[in-house]
Structure 1
């Protein structure tokens, strides 16, 4: 038996309850994918579910976007405090405020309290989704030129959309009036349904096992994560390990947004301090504290035993210090739509680089470098006569880093979690565009003993007048390699005839014009000259690496040609070339 403050629970029962909660999270997330009305949710799966205790501590989560899930805790914690004594069975609450624990305005958290038989709040079932519009001065939820949060869209710190089981028509009306997309309320109701489903399922779990056992199981799971993560930390050498990472620029063109981290290992605990990060107040690159916190844990969780449950136990092992006023914890009112991505994901890069000085064998940056998601919209789809708004769910593909023993593979980085690239056929049916091509880019993955994944070349042609929003990074400060691996290739984006650097907003395209993306590759792991020449030859056969790139980056001499199917490694010349470079 394992002793818990609220009583006792055996490990088997605690594990069963934890598995039940994770299954409920999966069911909530799947509910949204099957009932939502817009492609970003019903195709791309940008939704995640979590279960939290009465105080807003994370108890369980679904498979999803790591940072997204881990940033859902603070809004629920705020609601638990704000509505203390005013929560009722059947309530459903909505929140998207970056300055009350959220990430940015498009990420809407919908959650429902769950009560025990005595009428006490015991749990929260939460579902967080990205929405395509937030009101504000510009369509799409990414007003990258906004000077403040109010220009970006509407903040909902807390709203009861359902109170005691009854939908509040005034709240629905208000939210509908502040959003451009006709499918917004459908997506919102999909979330409400998922939260209600989660609450029902959790009520069944409480009825079956009893509130003391369920509470004990949650505490056991959190304590288990704390114990196991702290045990891993205790095996690392004490000391302070630092890293500096830069983002090319903010959307307004302010260069070299700086993220500095110092990770101190003290016994079985970590101090993670971002003192020294950018404090310029005129930049437009702000990651909220909740977003920064989520990115920290998301990266750390990839470096340790993957069987450790991802819950509040991770947070318990860390003293997180993010100075107020720096780019990772902005003063209230700063715009944060693009900052959720950059410098948000640079937080993960900094953690990975600092940790590579401690446990390089486990390090791999779990990040992406797309700037902000591309949006395309127009007044008239000639096939329907209606307006359209394309969120770009089929576009981003790149930045997949290598890890020790594994080349980078696939099209989406681990940080994008459960996201699915929408198919060309579905996208063309929904929007008046044609996908003219998408393929891997040769020589784009960072060289290393294990090669970074290739970036991609993507071409999309518009068939009617269309406007485009796009912010681009990774053109100068590219995706990092680890343990001697090389950085991935840079990004390059053309919208019509304009090279995007760093951003365009509402850029007009006429029918027949194109947007062309060259997405960057992932970073390599380990010294490139240690890569097996046969693996390099295999990459040349697959057109991931050119014959010239094999020699330039890996000192591998390849004879013959791909066209004639006569490629081969000249082992003697390769050995000589590598000896010369190492001398």
Structure 2
């Protein structure tokens, strides 16, 4: 059928579906462009980005598959704030808008969101948005030590990044004058604008190909189909109210995260009343980030294959009191909001586990265990003579612990869930800094024992090749309260950070690694699922052979006795397992 024929309807259901798929490919190209031209390792190597296309009312129609939920789902709500400041009727060709407002963007100052309107024959037809994490934004740096957002870096309200007359050079000069890595930061801002431009050009090409003048009917189709499909998935769930709580490390004291989930015929409501109050340190979570990760956790279980857009997200309704850490109000510090925010999928999945009789994964490491290291007197304590001699560098390298065991499957080792970012190769970190990664390997026995084993964390040993000290900003959790197992599975092993000489370091905050010392980062493992003594003995033997489980743990945690060649001693194993029974 020729969609350009006079009597053809290019908006019939088949063509709508084809165009929907094409629209997703457009935003995926947008995201891949951002990764290819990005400057910082978080963009280029880890894929800590988001990209999407929105209708003229600010509703997300499609998101790129590439990207993180914290960026995508908070960006999904962000564009309406841009339209509040710059109504669609005032936008002009050549306009590009920008912000890193934590409460109107994606939760902290290190993330910039750029929005670009797209015009077809002088008519606004869509908005493209993208987000990435920049290596530095000034202030105290990427850590939880600040007491107010004003200490955390330069705050850019929603404003024009560019117009038809050119780039906002005053804005760029302000940013360059306030950050430690101006080339990388400004380069990433241009990369955000550039990827939006690619998305816009590909959209116009698509509209020409299909002979449509606006996205109105296609957008209505996308949002309605997504809404109906998500509603069907929700209505298949048991109805009721389910409550789950989780204790996490916090900064100076433990925090309780509490969720009450109500599943009804018209959607899912999650209320975080009962959660601990805000912290004095930068682990507070703006509500946009809370909503982003909580929605993602629910969607992973109930509707993982339904495209993510305004239609599917609108049925997942989140609430959090203004006096809790999950709805931090300005000017509270929020630089490391991901430490707590990335725990929320585990929290809401715990609610869904009650509704689904446990048919959900165990808890995982959840928060990232990134190596954020820097050196030079401009970065840390200027009173330290040793630090005055240190080379100035600033590097952020993404790394992960293990995920929780899944129904019918082991957890994933050294894998970032829920963020989905990639681990950064050690060669990249070494090329950009004086650091040497002496060791990076799976952490034996870190995965929680179970019929299905939790994913393993990793061990990293890091030293400086310079004869000076360097500093790290620790942004870690699951040190005091490890990932919990489920349905009889054991907890994963807790994380640990220490010097090579043995002295323990704090799990959060900026700390100096003395000259000649190594820092040892031992990442947590995911929780196990089901009774460990029900695990297939051959699978335990394979884990021991691969170094993922020790011989001692095989016997004590799983009841599996191995011979010297790693084969299973069936008689001894049956006796040990039977003795426990």
TM over 0.5: yes
Question: In the TM superposition, what is the alpha-carbon distance from 1:470 to its structure 2 partner?
Answer: 1.3
Which residue pairs with 1:388 in the alignment? 393
Counterpart residue number, 1:356: 353
The answer as to 2:541 corresponding to 1:577 is no
Counting only pairs closer than 5 Å after superposition, residues 309-320 of structure 1 correspond to structure 2 as 309-320=307-318
Instruction: Report the counterpart of residue 94 of structure 2 in structure 1.
Output: 90
2:284 alignment partner in structure 1: 286
Aligned to 1:197: 198
Q: Deviations over 1:364-397 (max 9, x none)?
A: 55762346652323369xxxx973211123xx23
Superposed CA RMSD: 2.4
CA spacing shift, 1:314–1:477, aligned 2, 3 Å:
farther
Map of 2:25 onto structure 1: 23
Q: 2:134 aligns with which of 131, 135, 146?
A: 131
* Residue of structure 2 in register with 1:237 after alignment: 238
Q: How does 1:214-293 map to 2 (within 5 A)?
A: 214-250=215-251, 253=252, 255-280=253-278, 282=280, 284-293=282-291
Kindly indicate whether residue 419 of structure 2 is the aligned counterpart of residue 416 of structure 1.
yes
Rounded Cα–Cα distance in structure 2 between residues aligned with 1:349 and 1:39: 27
- Please report how far the alpha carbon of residue 15 of structure 1 lies from its aligned counterpart in structure 2 after TM superposition: 2.0
- 2:82 alignment partner, SS class: helix
1:425 to 1:187, Cα distance in 2 relative to 1, 3 A: same
Alignment match, 1:77: 80
State yes or no: 1:186 paired with 2:187. yes
| Shift in Å, 1:39 | 2.4
CA-to-aligned-CA distance 1:84-107 (integer Å, 9 cap, x gap): 132111211111111224311111
Query: What do the CA deviations read for 1:270-300 (whole angstroms, capped 9, x no partner)?
Result: 1111111112564653111110011012112
Instruction: Tell me the alpha carbon deviations over residues 310-339 of structure 1, each in whole angstroms, 9 at most, x when there is no partner.
Output: 11122221232111221111122111111x
**Distance across 1 between alignment mates of 2:347 and 2:137:** 30
Q: Cα gap change, 1:195/1:295 in structure 2, threshold over 3 Å: closer, same or farther? A: same
SS in 1 for 2:291: helix
Q: Does residue 331 in structure 1 map to residue 296 in structure 2?
A: no
Summarize the alignment of residues 112-191 of structure 1 with structure 2, pairs less than 5 Å apart.
112-117=116-121, 119=123, 121-136=124-139, 138-139=140-141, 141-142=142-143, 144-164=144-164, 166-182=166-182, 183-191=184-192
Partner of 2:481: 477
In 1, Cα distance between the equivalents of 2:248 and 2:254? Answer: 5
Q: Could you tell me which runs of 5 or more consecutive residues in structure 2 were left unpaired when the two chains were aligned.
A: 1-8, 379-389
CA distance in 1, matches of 2:306, 2:577: 41
2:402 and 2:412 in contact (8 A); partners too: no
Q: Distance in 2 between matches of 1:482 and 1:9?
A: 48
The DSSP-based 3-state class of the residue aligned with 1:540 is helix
The answer for the alignment partner of 1:306 in structure 2 is 304
The reply to whether residue 545 of structure 1 matches residue 554 of structure 2 is: no
State how far apart, in whole Å, the 1-side matches of 2:413 and 2:201 are.
Answer: 37
1:500 aligns with 2:505: yes
- The TM-score normalised by the length of structure 1 is 0.90
2:427 paired with 1:433: no
Count of aligned residue pairs for this structure pair: 557
Q: Which moved more, 1:195-204 or 1:239-248?
A: 195-204
Distance 2:368 2:429 in 1: 20
- Asked if structure 1 preserves the Cα contact closer than 8 Å seen for 2:27 and 2:63, the reply is yes
> Is the aligned partner of 1:342 residue 2:345?
no
Question: Residues 114 and 493 from structure 1, CA distance in 2 versus in 1: closer, same or farther, beyond 3 angstroms?
Answer: same
Distance verdict in 2 for CA 1:302–1:109, change over 3 Å: same
Task: Say which SS state the counterpart of residue 254 (structure 2) adopts.
Answer: strand
Measured against aligned partners, the alpha-carbon deviations of 1:148-185 in whole angstroms (never above 9, x if no partner) come to 11111122121211113621211221222222113211
SS in 2 for 1:68: helix
Taking the aligned partners of 1:425 and 1:361, their CA distance within structure 2 comes to: 40
CA distance, structure 2, for counterparts of residue 328 and residue 184 of structure 1: 28
Using the TM superposition, give the Cα deviation of residue 70 of structure 1 relative to its aligned residue in structure 2, in angstroms. 1.0
Q: 1:491 to 1:366 in 2, by over 3 A?
A: closer
- In terms of mean alpha carbon deviation, does 356-365 or 44-53 score higher? 356-365
Q: TM-score, normalised by structure 2?
A: 0.90
Q: Deviations over 1:37-87 (max 9, x none)?
A: 232222222222111222222211112212221111222110012101321
C-alpha separation in 2, matches of 1:283 and 1:66: 24
Matched residue, 1:206:
207
* Equivalent of 1:35 in 37, 44, 48: 37
What is the alpha-carbon distance in structure 2 between the residues aligned to residue 323 and residue 355 of structure 1? 22
Q: Distance in 2 between matches of 1:346 and 1:426?
A: 28
Tell me the distance in 1 between the aligned counterparts of 2:491 and 2:127.
Answer: 42
Query: Partners of 1:281 and 1:501 in 2: how far apart?
Result: 17
Query: How far 1:506 sits from its partner (Å)?
Result: 4.8
Could you say if the C-alpha distance between residues 373 and 110 of structure 1 is closer, same or farther in structure 2, counting changes exceeding 3 Å? Answer: farther
